[in-house]
Amino acid sequence: MQAPGALFLNQPFSPDPLRADFMFYVMLGVIGVVGSFLLFFFIVCLCERQRLTGDVEPASEPFPYPPAPYWTATRDDAMKYGLQHAGDFATRKKSSVVKGLLSLFVSRDRQVLAAIVCGSFAAAKTRKTILRSRLATGRILESSDEGGIEDLSGVVERAVLINAGISELMAFHLQRLQTSGSTALAFDAQAPLQEYERIDMERGARWVLLGLARWVGPERAAIRMTPRGAFATMKKLINQTQKMKNQHQRIHIRRAGSRPGD
């Protein structure tokens, strides 16, 4: 007489066809969603007109667009940290689809140029701080508190510290400068906007040279991605998403403007 368990062991395994079909359609759905997003992203890259210079103008209170709490709080933190305020700017109403504010700061040694940005386009909003330093080797070090796509040309070496406040982001950036193996050059504190846009122009010109983008208009102040550039950007997006997983524990850090007391 067989043991009761042996009766079950001798029975052939028959998978549940309904469950198998369900998982198959779930996988198809996931693939469809991801594929649709990547296709949409690819088309946006091809169509987007990236303005490199001339899309902002000096602004003062009352600002033409309402300042986001993040922008106001980070701007105050930059002043408390000791950065020198170099001007406030707003996007020109007829030159950019993005509407927002930019505040520029320069470190006392003029080796770090800080940009505090708040802007919106349709329902999409951006809140970020960008620190830039120009090295004697020609490279640009850029540090930000918000994720983004790395520079395709290699002109700008970008690193992200998610949700970092101005003090933590400055410490992160200065550490990168110390380990860069090069000397940081001083920015012209009298022309901060020109210095900032000059970096964007150098990056854009390099994209065009590599066949990743093309100039829009004879003034060469804006670019659009080529299919090659759009595909490369899409690959960078996937790689950057994987890198951001290493900072998942920082997602819950409150940003400036949402902290108690801001």
Distance between CA atoms of residues 60 and 85, nearest Å: 13
Tell which residue, 87, 86, 120, has the closest CA to residue 106: 86
**What is the residue whose two structure tokens read 């009761």?**
4
Core vs surface per residue 209-225: b (16+ CB within 10 A) or e: eeebbebeeeeebbbbb
Question: Is residue 21 in a domain?
Answer: no
Q: Identify the band that residue 87 occupies on the pLDDT scale cut at 50, 70 and 90.
A: very high
Tell which residue, 155, 154, 152, 148, has the closest CA to residue 115: 148
Q: Record the tokens describing residue 184, joined without a space.
A: 């940081």
Question: Is residue 86 in a domain?
Answer: yes
The pairing of strands 140-144 and 156-160 is parallel
pLDDT in tens, 117-163: 999 876 678 999 999 999 999 999 999 999 887 888 889 999 999 99
Element (H, E) at 39: helix 17-47
Number of domains into which the chain is organized: 1
Taking residue 12's Cβ as centre, other Cβ atoms within 10 Å add up to 4
Q: Identify the band that residue 214 occupies on the pLDDT scale cut at 50, 70 and 90.
A: very high
Distance between CA atoms of residues 48 and 92, nearest Å: 17
Give the mean model confidence (pLDDT) for residues 21-50. 67
Distance between CA atoms of residues 32 and 40, nearest Å: 12
Question: Is residue 69 in a domain?
Answer: yes
| Sign of the CA dihedral with 43 first, then 251, 200, and 212 last | negative
End-to-end CA distance of the chain: 78
**What is the residue whose two structure tokens read 């001083």?**
186
Taking residue 127's Cβ as centre, other Cβ atoms within 10 Å add up to 21
Question: Which domain, by its residues, includes 91?
Answer: 52-248
Question: Is residue 44 in a domain?
Answer: no
Question: Is residue 10 in a domain?
Answer: no
Higher pLDDT, 33 or 84: 84
Report yes or no: 142 and 132 within 8 Å, Cβ to Cβ: yes
Q: Record the tokens describing residue 174, joined without a space.
A: 């200065």
pLDDT for residue 235: 82
Average pLDDT, the chain: 86
pLDDT for residue 123: 66
Bond from prior residue into 62 cis (ω within 30 degrees of 0)? yes
pLDDT in tens, 165-186: 999 999 999 999 999 999 999 9
Distances (CA, A) of 233 to 38, 68, 119, 238: 11, 29, 22, 9
pLDDT higher than threshold 70 for residue 210? yes
Question: Is residue 29 in a domain?
Answer: no
pLDDT for residue 148: 80
